[in-house]
C-alpha cells in the first residue's frame, strides 16, 4: 500500500468532492472512497475515516484540512483522509454522486492520536548546549516534550548516531542555529507516539540532516538537495535527535520500508546508514569504481571510512587499501577487517623526513599486490578521503593513477585548501570532487545492504548521558566505527 502524502497535501488545498458510500459511519470506522481532484482531474482512492463521534467531536485531519457540510475539503475542517494511489480518470464516475453529506457544522478538536498503552510524557532527558560558544559545552538536561503542531509528530527516539558534524553544529552559533538550548543529533530512528495524523502512530521513521528540500529548484532537480535554498535541516531549523522525544515535521521523516523492519536486524545498524552509510555510498559511486579497481580509503577506521571500504569492496567489487592513523591501524589489524579492507596501512607522519617516500613505496607495492602484479605498475584508480585530519589531504594526486578520481568527504576544522599540481590534474586527466552526504534514497539502499548481510557496520552502543564524552573522543579522532546511542540503555 502506497501512501502518497504529496498528493494529499495538494488535495488539502484543492477544492475536492468526496464520495462517501455510506452516509453515517461509526466513529473511527475506515472505508475506501473515491476522491476527485478538480486540479489534476484525476480520481484517487483514499481511505476515509470519519472522525465524528456521538459527542460530535471531530479530530483534526492529518493534512490540516477540514470537511465542510457541503462536502468540500477546505483548510481548517476536520477529517482523516489517506491517499493510497491514483487511478486513471473514470469516465463512468458520476461526479454529482461525489458528495459527502455529513452535517458537522459544530466541530470540536478531539484529543490527539497517541500510541496506545504508552503514557505520553511531559518531560524528557536531552543532551543540549545551554549557550552556544566557541567550545563544546554539552550537558544532560531535563526539558519539556513539545506537543506536536499541525503537520508535526512526536518521535520517541530509539537510536541516534553520533556524527562528528554534531560537534560543528554544537559550537558557534552558526547562522540559523538557536543560540540557547540547542539540541544536536541528525541520525535518529524512532517511533511516532503522537501526531495529528492517526495513520502514522506507531510507525518507525528515520530522521536525517536533510529533513526536507523544495524538490523544484534548479539544485533539487539536479539531486543537489543540500544546496536547496528552502531546505530544512536537523538539527538547525528542526530540533535534533539527542533527546528522548523529538517533535518534528512529518514531511521531514524518512519512512522505513516494512521489508526492512520485518527481519531481525538491529535498528542500530540502520542508524549507521542514515548519514555515514549514505555518504559512503555516494562517495564510492563518485569514484565510478569497477570490479577489481583499487580504491584507497583514507580514514578507514571511522564511521564513514569503514562503511566506504565495505561498500566499495562488497557492493562494487573493488579492492580496498585502508589508511588511517598508525595507532588505529594497529588496533584494526588485530580485528576482523577483511570485509572492508584488503590491506591496512598506517598514514605517514607529517614532517618526518623520508616518511612520505617510505609510505608511498609501500602503497605502490600494495596496489601491485592487489592486482596480482598484472598490467602496468600504477597507483589506485581512486582515493576517497573520509578523514577529518587535514594532513590526510596532502599529495592526493599521487594516490591515483592517470584518469584517477579523488573524492573528498571529510572536512577538517578551519579554513583549509587542498593543493594539486595543475599539470597533474590536466595532463593526467584527474577528477576531483567533493561530497557532503547522501540522500534518503542512498540511506535506504545502504539499509538494504545491511539487511541482506552484504555489509556489516561496526557499531558501538552507548547511552544518552555518554554523548558529551563520546563527542570529545570524536573531535580528538579517538573513536573507531560508528557510535550509536541506545535510548533504552540510558539511566533514568
Taking alpha carbons only, the member of 200, 193, 186 closest to residue 124 is: 193
Q: Does 213 bind Zn ion (CB under 5 A)?
A: yes
Task: Give CA–CA dist 138/235, Å, rounded.
Answer: 14
Question: CB of residue 130 vs Zn ion: minimum separation in angstroms?
Answer: 23
Q: Which is nearer to Zn ion, 110 or 214 (CB)?
A: 214
Which run of H or of E encompasses 448?
A: helix 440-451
Give the x/- contact pattern for Zn ion in 265-284, rule: CB under 5 A.
Answer: ----------x---------
Start-end of H helices in 176-302: 218-221, 258-262, 267-272, 278-287
Question: CB of residue 219 vs Zn ion: minimum separation in angstroms?
Answer: 5
DSSP string across 126-169? EEEEEE--SS---EEEEEEPPPP-TTEEEEEEEEEEE-THHHHH
Q: Which of 45, 136, 217, 425 binds Zn ion (CB under 5 A)?
A: 217
Q: Does 163 bind Zn ion (CB under 5 A)?
A: yes
Taking alpha carbons only, the member of 167, 178, 171, 241 closest to residue 211 is: 241
Question: CB of residue 218 vs Zn ion: minimum separation in angstroms?
Answer: 8
Q: Which of 115, 214, 224, 411 binds Zn ion (CB under 5 A)?
A: 214
Q: Which is nearer to Zn ion, 102 or 252 (CB)?
A: 252
CA-to-CA dists, residue 97 to 41, 94, 184, 197, angstroms: 16, 6, 52, 27
Q: Does 165 bind Zn ion (CB under 5 A)?
A: yes
Taking alpha carbons only, the member of 40, 27, 232, 198 closest to residue 116 is: 198
Q: Which is nearer to Zn ion, 148 or 188 (CB)?
A: 188
Question: CB of residue 217 vs Zn ion: minimum separation in angstroms?
Answer: 3
Q: Which is nearer to Zn ion, 217 or 265 (CB)?
A: 217
Question: CB of residue 164 vs Zn ion: minimum separation in angstroms?
Answer: 7
Question: CB of residue 168 vs Zn ion: minimum separation in angstroms?
Answer: 10
Question: CB of residue 300 vs Zn ion: minimum separation in angstroms?
Answer: 17
Q: Does 366 bind Zn ion (CB under 5 A)?
A: no
Q: Which of 220, 232, 420, 462 binds Zn ion (CB under 5 A)?
A: 220
C-alpha cell at 121: 510524557
Of 228-257, which residues contact Zn ion (CB under 5 A)? 228
Which run of H or of E encompasses 85?
A: strand 80-87
Number of residues this chain uses to bind Zn ion (CB under 5 A): 8
Inter-residue contact 51 to 72 (CB < 8 Å): no
* Site residues for Zn ion per CB under 5 A: 163, 165, 213-214, 217, 220, 228, 275
Amino acid at each position: 500500500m502506497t501512501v502518497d502524502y504529496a498528493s494529499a497535501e495538494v488535495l488539502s488545498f484543492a477544492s475536492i468532492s468526496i464520495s462517501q458510500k455510506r452516509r453515517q459511519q461509526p466513529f473511527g470506522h475506515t472505508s475506501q472512497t473515491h476522491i476527485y481532484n478538480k486540479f489534476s482531474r484525476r480520481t484517487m482512492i483514499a481511505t476515509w475515516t470519519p472522525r465524528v463521534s456521538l459527542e460530535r467531536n471531530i479530530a483534526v485531519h492529518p493534512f490540516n484540512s477540514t470537511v465542510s457540510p457541503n462536502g468540500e475539503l477546505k483548510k481548517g475542517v476536520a477529517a482523516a483522509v489517506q491517499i493510497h494511489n491514483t487511478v486513471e480518470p473514470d469516465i463512468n464516475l458520476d461526479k454529482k454522486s461525489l458528495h459527502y453529506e455529513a452535517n458537522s457544522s459544530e466541530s470540536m478538536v478531539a484529543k490527539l492520536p497517541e500510541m496506545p498503552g504508552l503514557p505520553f510524557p511531559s518531560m524528557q532527558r536531552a543532551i543540549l548546549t545551554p549557550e552556544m560558544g566557541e567550545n563544546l559545552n554539552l550537558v544532560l538536561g531535563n526539558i519539556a516534550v513539545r506537543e506536536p503542531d499541525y503537520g508535526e509528530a512526536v518521535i520517541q527516539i530509539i537510536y541516534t548516531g553520533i556524527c562528528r558534524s554534531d560537534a560543528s553544529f554544537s559550537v558557534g552559533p552558526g547562522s540559523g542555529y538557536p543560540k540557547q538550548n540547542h539540541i544536536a543529533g541528525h541520525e535518529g530512528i524512532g517511533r511516532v507516539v503522537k501526531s495529528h495524523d492517526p495513520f502514522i502512530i506507531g510507525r518507525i521513521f528515520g530522521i536525517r540532516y536533510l529533513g526536507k528540500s523544495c524538490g523544484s529548484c534548479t539544485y533539487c532537480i539536479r539531486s543537489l538537495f543540500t544546496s536547496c535554498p528552502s531546505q530544512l535541516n536537523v538539527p538547525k531549523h528542526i530540533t535534533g535527535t539527542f533527546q528522548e522525544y523529538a517533535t518534528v515535521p512529518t514531511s521531514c521523516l524518512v519512512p522505513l520500508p516494512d521489508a526492512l523492519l520485518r527481519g531481525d536486524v538491529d535498528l542500530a545498524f540502520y542508524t549507521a546508514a542514515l548519514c555515514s552509510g549514505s555518504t559512503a555510498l555516494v562517495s564510492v559511486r563518485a569514484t565510478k569504481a569497477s570490479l577489481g579497481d583499487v580504491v584507497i580509503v583514507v580514514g578507514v577506521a571511522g564511521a564513514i571510512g569503514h562503511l566506504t571500504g565495505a561498500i566499495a569492496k562488497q557492493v562494487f567489487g573493488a579492492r580496498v587499501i585502508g589508511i588511517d592513523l598508525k595507532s588505529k591501524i594497529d588496533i584494526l589489524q588485530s580485528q576482523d577487517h577483511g570485509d572492508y579492507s584488503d590491506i591496512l596501512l598506517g598514514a605517514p607522519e607529517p614532517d618526518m623526513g623520508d616518511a612520505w617516500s617510505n609510505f608511498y613505496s609501500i602503497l605502490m607495492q600494495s596496489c601491485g599486490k592487489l592486482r596480482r602484479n598484472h598490467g602496468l605498475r600504477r597507483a589506485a584508480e581512486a582515493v576517497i578521503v573520509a578523514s577529518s585530519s587535514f594532513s590526510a589531504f596532502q599529495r592526493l594526486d599521487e594516490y591515483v593513477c592517470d584518469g584517477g578520481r579523488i573524492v573528498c568527504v571529510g572536512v577538517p576544522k578551519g579554513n583549509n585548501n587542498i593543493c594539486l599540481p595543475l599539470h597533474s590534474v590536466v595532463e593526467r586527466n584527474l577528477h576531483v570532487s567533493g561530497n557532503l552526504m547522501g540522500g534518503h534514497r542512498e540511506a535506504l539502499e545502504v539499509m538494504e545492504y545491511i539487511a541482506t548481510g552484504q555489509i556489516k557496520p561496526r557499531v558501538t552502543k552507548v547511552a544518552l548521558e555518554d554523548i558529551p564524552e563520546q563527542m570529545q573522543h570524536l573531535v580528538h579522532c579517538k573513536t573507531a566505527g560508528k557510535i550509536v546511542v541506545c535510548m533504552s540503555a540510558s539511566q533514568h
